[in-house]
Structure 1
């Protein structure tokens, strides 16, 4: 199985953050949120694929917690900048003996990027609660991201969409 097989068989499309995706679930249940009295679906889920020709999921943040699950392919490195500006790195993959994690929680409002550093593809699943809405996602803007994290800018700038 190669990246094109996965894209076709799972009906994935290009994502604004980089890579490919397809929503696979959107709950019928809604919950009230603190977002101006709005309601959100309780849970959404997607497939997310990074490939050797689209290897970066550019820095962005969400207003919901997201759990990422590794499915198949090569490991994916996550860079997470928390609310205090601390950078953490995680490798999502199968080889737990090498420090890989099989699933990863990215808390709401933390900046995150993901990188396929080797191989043809890495396929993930993501569960978002409350459910994902594009209005709740913010792509990092180079100038404001650099101003917020000047000490990290040289290291992180390749993963900010320009």
Structure 2
């Protein structure tokens, strides 16, 4: 049976700025020129990228957003709970896991420009997932939420924002 420490070690995962651990496992060789991309992208992007991402129950993935859709794929461990705030301020949540009878989704797409955060559902456990992004991810596309700014923008969600920002 897998455990978090073994996965981190065997796959050489590193700490991620949002929380948890990650490793890029795919970056397409081909690129899309900046002028062919929407205005949000200032430089060229690879067609697609994917990472491994591991989160433990002692940590959380802090609210952040990117310029692209992000597809989450569940692999192992506890299901996780993903929170999203749309650009218009609607809060939603989704369980990512493999128990279809509990309405968990083994794959889920986070829309672009949504603020999102995640936590492991089971105490003393981990969630191991993959994330795929197209056009490919670049840290230029990543914005980590600042608690005061996000609370000012969405005061109706102050409690969840406080729980999932640092």
Say whether residues 1:15 and 2:8 are aligned partners.
no
Structure-1-length-normalised TM-score: 0.95
Could you say what the CA RMSD is over the residues aligned between the two structures, in angstroms? Answer: 1.2
Provide the residue aligned with 1:26 in structure 2. Answer: 27
The CA distance in 2 between the partners of 1:25 and 1:150, in whole Å, is 38
CA, structure 1 residues 10+150, in 2 after alignment: closer, same or farther (shift >3 Å)?
A: same
Q: Deviations over 1:71-99 (max 9, x none)?
A: 00000000011121100110000101001
Other structure's SS at 1:38 match: coil
Say whether residues 1:104 and 2:108 are aligned partners.
yes
Provide the residue aligned with 1:138 in structure 2. Answer: 143
The CA distance in 1 between the partners of 2:57 and 2:152, in whole Å, is 30
Provide the residue aligned with 2:94 in structure 1. Answer: 90
Say whether residues 1:43 and 2:44 are aligned partners.
no
Provide the residue aligned with 1:156 in structure 2. Answer: 161
Residue 37 of structure 1 and its aligned partner are, at CA, apart by: 5.2
The CA distance in 1 between the partners of 2:26 and 2:132, in whole Å, is 9
Q: Deviations over 1:139-158 (max 9, x none)?
A: 00111101011011123311
CA, structure 1 residues 74+36, in 2 after alignment: closer, same or farther (shift >3 Å)?
A: closer
Provide the residue aligned with 1:126 in structure 2. Answer: 131
Q: Which runs of 5+ in 2 are unaligned?
A: none
**Of 110-119 and 74-83, the range deviating more from structure 2:** 110-119
Q: Which runs of 5+ in 1 are unaligned?
A: none
The CA distance in 2 between the partners of 1:9 and 1:145, in whole Å, is 36
Structure-2-length-normalised TM-score: 0.92
The CA distance in 2 between the partners of 1:130 and 1:21, in whole Å, is 19
Provide the residue aligned with 2:7 in structure 1. Answer: 6
